Amino acid sequence: MRSRLAPLKNAQIAVVGGLAGVDWSESKLQEYADFETFNAFFTRELADGARPLDPDPLAFVSPSDGRISQCGRITTDRILQAKGHHYLDPLPAGP
C-alpha cells in the first residue's frame, strides 16, 4: 500500500479504481501517476464541489465511496451487519 514503484501502485489503482467504479471526474488528481502511493489514491482528495452535502436533514451522508447495501430492524439477538449475513450480537442485552 505504501509502494512507490510506479508499475505496481499504478496497477493497484487501476484495478481497484475499476472494480469500485471510481468517478475520476470527482478526484482532484486525475492520473494514476499523480498519486505517490496506492494509499494516497485510497485517501484521495476530491475536487472542489464534487460531492455537495445533501441539504435534507434526514439524508444519510458518507465521506467515503461506500454505499448502504443493507438496513433493517435489529431482532432478538441478531443484527444485519454485512453483505446480507446475520451475525450474533456480541453484547448482552441491556436493562
3-state secondary structure of 7: helix
Residue 40's pLDDT band (cuts 50, 70, 90):
very high
User: What is the mean pLDDT of the segment spanning 48-66?
Assistant: 84
pLDDT-based confidence at 29, cuts 50/70/90?
very high
C-alpha cell at 67: 454505499
* Average pLDDT in the chain: 81
Average pLDDT over residues 18-42: 92
CA–CA separation, 37 and 43 (whole Å)? 10
